[in-house]
Structure 1
Amino acid sequence: MPPAPLRVTPHGGQRHSSGKAGPTAFPEKYTHPRELLKSLFDAAVASAQPELCVPPHLPEPPAPGQGRVIVIGAGKASAAMARAVERHWAGRGVPLEGLVVTRYGHAVACEHVEIVEAAHPVPDEAGHAAAQRMLHMVQGLTPNDLVLCLISGGGSSLLPLPLPGLTLAHKQAVHQALLRSGANIGEMNCVRRHLSAIKGGRLAAACHPARVLTLLISDVPGDNPVDIASGPTVADPSTCADALAITRRYALDLPAEVQHVLASGAGESVKPGDPRLARCETRLIATPQMALQAAAQLAREAGVTPWVLGDGIEGEARDVGKVLAALAQQQARHGGPITTPCVLLSGGETTVTVRGQGRGGRNVECLLSLGLSLGEAPGIHALCADTDGVDGLEEIAGAVWTPDSLQRAWAQGLRPLDHLMDNNGHGFFEALGDSVVTGPTLTNVNDFRAILIDRA
C-alpha cells in the first residue's frame, strides 16, 4: 500500500505527512526534508491570505447617506476577500451589498455580500448567470457611489459573459481549446478579453461614474492587472488583431462566430485613456513575489539559504523541470552562488501542451520532468504545487519528489517516462503517496516550486 498523500492545511501549518524520518542537515524542528518543503509552501500560501492582505487597503466609504458601497468580484480567492472586507468594515457607517463569484468548493459565509459558486477552468451556466447579474447590479450608479472590486486568479472562467452574437457554448469551446493549446496565460487572456462583455475594462466602464477600487491578488507572471482574471476593471491595450493572431499561432479550431468577432473587430475592449475609467484605481495586495519572500524568510530561520530564481517563470512545464534540475545538480555537485544547505524557490505559470490522456496538471508535470532529470541524485528533494490547492482539474495541489522516488516507482512497476508522456503526473505521484493535498486554500498566487539541496 502506498503511504497516505501529504496533507497541508489551507491556511498554513502542517496537518499530516508521510515519509520516514532520517538524517538531514536541517534543525531538529524539521524531522525530514519533506517537512521543510511543506512548511515553505504553507508560508507562501499564508502570506497571501485575504484576511491578512485585504484590510490594509480598504477605502474610506462615502459619507453616510451620500452614496452606496457595492462589492463585486470574481476568482478563487474572491469569497474569502469579501469575508475579510465584511469583518473589517464595521463602524464605517455605510452598509455593504454586492455579489462575488468563486470556484465550486471555495465559498465562505458572508452576511451582506452574496457568494455564488461556478465552474473553473471551463465556465458553466452558474458563472454566466452571475456575470449577467453583476453587470446589471452596477448600472445606474452615481458619482457618490463606491464600487469595491475583489479580483483574483480564476476570474476569467468564473465571469463568462459572451459578447452579443456569441453563446456560453462558444466560450466553453474557446476555453477548452486554449487549455490544450500550450498558450501562456497572457495569450489565453488576450483572446478571452476580446470575446467578453464584462472583461477588458468593460465591468469598470459599466460602473461609471462611480468610484471604483480594485484589489488584486495576482496569479500571473509580471503581475499585469489586465491579465488577472482578464482585467474586468482595467484598460486593455491589446486588440482584436492581437487575439486573432494568437488563435492562428496555435492553430485553434474555433467556431465561425468566434472567428468573426475577432476578425471584424467587434470584440474591441476598453482602451487606455477611456474617460469611463478616470475614477478607477487598482492595487496589487498579494503577488507571487511576496509569497516567495515569505518562504525565503522561513528558510533563513531554519538555517537554509534561499535563492529566489524568479516569480514569473513560464514555458512548457516539462522543459522548465529540466532546467530547474540542471540548476539543482550544478549547485549540489559544484557549489554555486549560495551556500548549502539551500533551497531554490520559484513561481510563475508554466503551460502544458496536452498530448496524452492522463490525469495531470502543470505542477506535477514539471515535477515529474524535474525528477526524471535528477534521477537518484542524493540530497535533493523538491515540491511543486499550485497555491490555490488545485493543479489542473484535480483537487490536488501538487506533489513531492525525493531521492528514492524512482526506486519506489520501479518497485511498483511504474514507468515514470510513460506517465510523463501521457500527461499523467497525478496518477504517478498518487500511486507513490506523494501528492500534496490542501483543500481550497482560499487564495491564489500561482505556482510554487521549492528544490531543497542538503549536500554539496
Structure 2
Amino acid sequence: MPSQGPDLLRRMFDAAVAAAAPSRCLGAHLPPLPRGRTLVIGAGKAAASMARALESQWPGELSGMVVTRYGHRVPTERIEVVEAAHPVPDAAGRAAAGRMLAMVQGLREDDLVICLISGGGSSLLALPAEGLTLEDKQAVNRALLKSGANITEMNCVRKHLSAIKGGRLAAACAPAQVLTLTISDVPGDDPSVIASGPTVADATTCADALAILTKYAITEPKAAIDHIRRGHDETPKPGDPRLARARQVMVATPQMSLEAAAGVARAAGIQPVILGNALEGEAREMALVHAGIARQVAEHGQPGRTPCVLLSGGEGTVTVRGQGRGGRNAEFLLALAVALDGHPRMHAIACDTDGIDGTEDNAGALLGPDTLARARALGLHAPAFLANNDGYSYFSALGDLVVTGPTMTNVNDFRAILIE
C-alpha cells in the first residue's frame, strides 16, 4: 500500500476516537451543584474514564460506583470502579448491579444522581429479574450474539429479563433528580437502547421481546422464555411518574466522531463523504454495499470525486456459522476485500472505537490493494476464511490488524474507504 493510505486512515480513526474521549466531551454538560448529596452510578466500556473526567471537573462532593469491562479500569479517587465481563455477563456484573440498586435506595428530592452510561452496559449490569438466574441470562446472551440480532433487538430482550434495565434503575432513584450523561454506541442514538436504558423509560413490551426470540428461533432456557411469555414484569413506560425527574444528555455520538475524521481528510486534501452514522445489517452484506459505492466513486465520481474517502458508522452484525475468530469489523473488511478484488485504488479501515472488535484483542484491521495477493502468497484464501467467520486470523497472518488496546470510550464502529 502507498504510505498515504494506511497512515491517513489510521489518523482518521484516531481522530474519531479522540472526539469521544470523556475528558474532552463531558465537562460542558455538568449540572449545578444540588442542595443534597451527589451520587454517581453508571456502566459501560467508557464508565471508568467518564468517572475520572467527572471527578476532575466536579466542584463539590461526590461518591458512588461504576462498572466497566475487565481491562478498562482507570485510576479514580472518589468513585469506585468495578470490573465485570462483556459481552456475556458474569457474577461480578451481577454483584455490582445489586450493589448499585441498593445504593440508590432512600434518596431525597434534594439529591442528585449522575448516571454515566456507555455501550457495553447491558452485560455489565447483569441483575436477573426475580425467578431467573445469571445462567439463564448468560444463555440468552450467547444465543442472541450468535443469532444475527441487532443491538436494538438484543437490548429489548435484555430489558425484559432484568431487575435494573429499561428504566428500573431510575425508578429506584425517585424522588431524586437523575441526570444521565451518555456516550452513544447505537444506531440512532436512542437512549433507551444504549446499555438497555437503565434510567430511561421503555416503550417496548414483553410481547416485543417474545417476538424477537421467536424471530431468531431462540427457545432456551425455558425459565427465561416463560418469564417473558407471562408478561407480568413490565418495564417502566413513558409517563411513569417515578421517572419524572430523570433526563438524559448525549455527550458523544458516532456523528461527532465521523465529522472529526472528515476534518482530517479535508486537511489532507481528500473529499470526505459521510454515508451514515447508523448503518446496520449483516457485516458482509454491508461490505458489498460499501464496495459498490466505492466503485461508483472510482468510475463515475459519484457521490464524490477522487481522491475521496467514504466514512460510515453504526453497528454490523455477524451470524456465526463458522468456528473462526473475528468480530464484525474483521468480517466487514474481509468481505470488502473479496468484493473489491484487489482494486488498485482502494484502501480501507474498519475498527470498533472501543478498541475491541468483538471478543478479540484488536480494534479492527487495514485493507489495501495488495491484501488478497499477499494472502494468496501465504496460501490464505479470503472466501474460505469468510465462510469460517475468521477475519481475525486472516488479517493477523498479514500483520494488518489494528491494535490499540481499550480506548476508554465507545461510539460504535468506524469504517473508512479511501479511493485515490
Counterpart residue identity of residue 227, structure 1: V
* 1:153 matched residue in structure 2: 119
Other structure's SS at 2:192 match: helix
Task: From 85, 89, 101, give the equivalent of 2:54.
Answer: 85
Task: From 210, 213, 234, give the equivalent of 1:268.
Answer: 234
Give yes or no for contact 1:82–1:113 (8 Å, CA) kept in 2.
yes
In the TM superposition, what are the counterparts of 1:164-313 in structure 2 within 5 Å? 164-313=130-279
Show structure 1 runs of 4+ deviating over 2 A: none
In structure 2, distance between residues paired with 1:122 and 1:306: 37
Superposed CA RMSD in Å reads: 0.8
State the TM-score, normalized to the length of structure 2. 0.99
Other structure's SS at 1:79 match: helix
Give yes or no for contact 2:46–2:408 (8 Å, CA) kept in 1.
yes
CA positional deviation for 1:411? 0.3
Counterpart residue identity of residue 25, structure 2: C
CA positional deviation for 1:311? 0.4
Q: Does 1:46 align with 2:46?
A: no
Give ranges in structure 2 of 5+ residues lacking alignment: none
In structure 2, distance between residues paired with 1:266 and 1:83: 39
* 2:45 matched residue in structure 1: 76
* 1:122 matched residue in structure 2: 88
* 2:4 matched residue in structure 1: 32
In structure 2, distance between residues paired with 1:240 and 1:192: 10
Give yes or no for contact 1:177–1:253 (8 Å, CA) kept in 2.
no
Give yes or no for contact 2:192–2:201 (8 Å, CA) kept in 1.
yes
Task: From 86, 98, 102, give the equivalent of 1:132.
Answer: 98
Other structure's SS at 1:314 match: strand
* 1:333 matched residue in structure 2: 299
- Deviation per CA, 1:361-415, whole angstroms, max 9, x where unpaired? 0011011001100001111000000000011110210001100001000000011
- Deviation per CA, 1:268-321, whole angstroms, max 9, x where unpaired? 111000000000110011000110011011111110000000001100000000
CA positional deviation for 1:32? 2.3
In structure 1, distance between residues paired with 2:387 and 2:71: 31
State, as a whole percentage, how many aligned pairs show the same letter.
Answer: 63
State the TM-score, normalized to the length of structure 1. 0.91
Task: From 384, 392, 395, give the equivalent of 1:418.
Answer: 384
In structure 2, distance between residues paired with 1:199 and 1:425: 33
Counterpart residue identity of residue 83, structure 1: R
In structure 2, distance between residues paired with 1:378 and 1:290: 31
In the TM superposition, what are the counterparts of 1:304-453 in structure 2 within 5 Å? 304-453=270-419
Counterpart residue identity of residue 187, structure 2: P
- Deviation per CA, 1:118-147, whole angstroms, max 9, x where unpaired? 000000011110000000000000001000
In structure 1, distance between residues paired with 2:328 and 2:219: 23
In structure 1, distance between residues paired with 2:300 and 2:110: 63
* 1:15 matched residue in structure 2: none
Give yes or no for contact 1:196–1:267 (8 Å, CA) kept in 2.
no
In structure 1, distance between residues paired with 2:157 and 2:129: 13
Give yes or no for contact 2:310–2:417 (8 Å, CA) kept in 1.
yes
Other structure's SS at 1:315 match: strand
Counterpart residue identity of residue 411, structure 1: A
In structure 2, distance between residues paired with 1:103 and 1:259: 27
Other structure's SS at 1:350 match: strand
CA positional deviation for 1:330? 1.3
* 2:65 matched residue in structure 1: 99
In structure 2, distance between residues paired with 1:231 and 1:337: 36
Give yes or no for contact 2:350–2:366 (8 Å, CA) kept in 1.
yes
* Range 358-367 or range 333-342, more displaced: 333-342
In structure 2, distance between residues paired with 1:267 and 1:374: 49
In structure 1, distance between residues paired with 2:408 and 2:305: 35
Q: Does 1:61 align with 2:61?
A: no
In structure 1, distance between residues paired with 2:145 and 2:56: 36
In structure 2, distance between residues paired with 1:373 and 1:338: 20
Counterpart residue identity of residue 41, structure 1: F
